[in-house]
Chains A and B, each alone.
Chain A
Amino acid sequence: MGEGTMEPSDRELLQRLAGGDREALAPLMEGHYRRLYRIVVSYLRDPDEALDGVQETFVKAYCHAGTWDGRSEPGAWLTRIAVNEAIDRYRRGKKRASSFSPLVSEPPGDGNDDPARALRRREDAERVGRALATLSERQRAVFVLRHQEEMTLDEIGRVLGLRLGTVKSCLHRAVHALRERLGGAR
């Protein structure tokens, strides 16, 4: 077995952060940045807002690391902060809807899209954005965490502080609401 220092676990990093060790922030971010960005951008559907949301998530993690009780997994704790941040930004976005984009962003192309296909993709993205906007904040969060992140219902319940039955019913309502708005699309 080779010598060498083992990389600190997320728990160790969060404990160090809670103790005021700012150097623990970078490795913690390295382990969770892309995942949290994926969650927040799937919720907000706006890359710039998502970047601000993830930035604020890590700032809050640093400032409030002392409130982590050690019982929850650091990943779930960070996810909870990120989802709450996304929900807050979503609410603020709805309030200034007249000057805010409808939470739709340009979908990724594969570089070989012809104009008709690119237009179709954009129209689909707008339709999905409008459909997601009709979900409640909680339904949207549950749907994103299950469908985009493939988290288990238990994990979603822990992140959002919901009982298993509530998570499942939220998910079903979200799917059916989306089905009503998108079900005719081909």
Chain B
Amino acid sequence: MIGHGRWRREVVDELLGLLAPDRSDALGRHLEGCGTCREEREVLQRTLRLAADPAPRTAPPIDLAAMLARVDAEIDRRVAGPARVRPRLVALWLPAAMAAALVLFIARPRSTPPETPDAGVSAVALRQMERTVNREQTARYLQEAQGVLLSVASTLPRCERVNGRRVGPEAEKSRELLARRRLLVDAEAEHLAMARPVLEDVDRALGEVASLDRCAGAAELRALARRIAEERLLLKIGLMARELQG
């Protein structure tokens, strides 16, 4: 005679669809005559029904294209390497700006115009040096912007708001970058003409990040990440930065 324990195990197997047909028939015959096992089967059946329903919404809340955009952005971030926002990198702005200022100070127009041919060559060389410094500054701006946008496009830590993500550092860094950009990057300069479209896209994206709350909604961030991925903005930034740095 099989004890209730064995029948109980077979009831679980039967409810999970794991019981062989011959055992299923035997179990059925047993249940007809055993109230204890019949009641236990009802409890287990109710348990499994409850565990399956209510279940979380099992259809993804974002479509395949949006998930592909997120995956692409994260892969780009990892392939690009540690291009994250680093406060110490911001300090590089200052030496570059100071170097540019020094160059301009040395090259300032003097009261006595040069009379020798060497002075003309020097002016050309100085202009070239200015352009080089400008291009370098622009490349660094783009790289720092890339770090911010990569961070926004990847998984951010949760914050106190329901479905919220902490984006305060990225928003603050965006505001800082945009302020420095206005000071140090002249997008209207002829030698930066090819960077203008990317700079406009980056300005727009950073502007969006700068306007986010410290604890932003996940849906809002997903939409922003999706736009960044659809525009291939991170890739464009990387390519333009390399172009500017020669």
Contacts and interface: CB of A to CB of B under 8 A. Distances in A.
Contacts of A125: 54, 56
Given A48-B218, A146-B16, A150-B17, A183 B43 contact: yes
A63 B79 CA distance: 9
A175 interface: yes
Interface residues of A, number: 56
B44 A58 contact: no
Interface of A: 22, 25-26, 29-30, 33-34, 37-38, 41-42, 45-48, 50-52, 54-56, 58-59, 62-63, 99-101, 105-108, 121, 124-125, 127-128, 131-132, 143, 146-148, 150, 153, 168, 171-172, 175-176, 178-179, 182-183, 185-186
A47 B16 contact: no
A172 B55 contact: no
Interface in B196-234: 218
B67 A148 contact: no
Given A63-B78, A175-B16, A185 B58 contact: no
Interface string B66-77: 011011001100
Given A48-B218, A51-B61, A175-B16, 15 more contacts: A29-B68, A33-B67, A34-B59, A34-B60, A37-B60, A59-B75, A62-B75, A108-B54, A147-B48, A172-B9, A178-B47, A178-B48, A182-B47, A183-B47, A185-B46
Interface of B: 9, 12, 16-18, 43-44, 46-48, 50-62, 64, 67-68, 70-71, 74-75, 78, 155, 158, 160, 162-163, 218
Contacts of B57: 41, 47, 105-108
A54 B62 CA distance: 12
Nearest to B160: A99
Nearest to B16: A146
Contacts of A179: 43-44, 47
Given A29-B64, A100-B158, A107 B70 contact: no
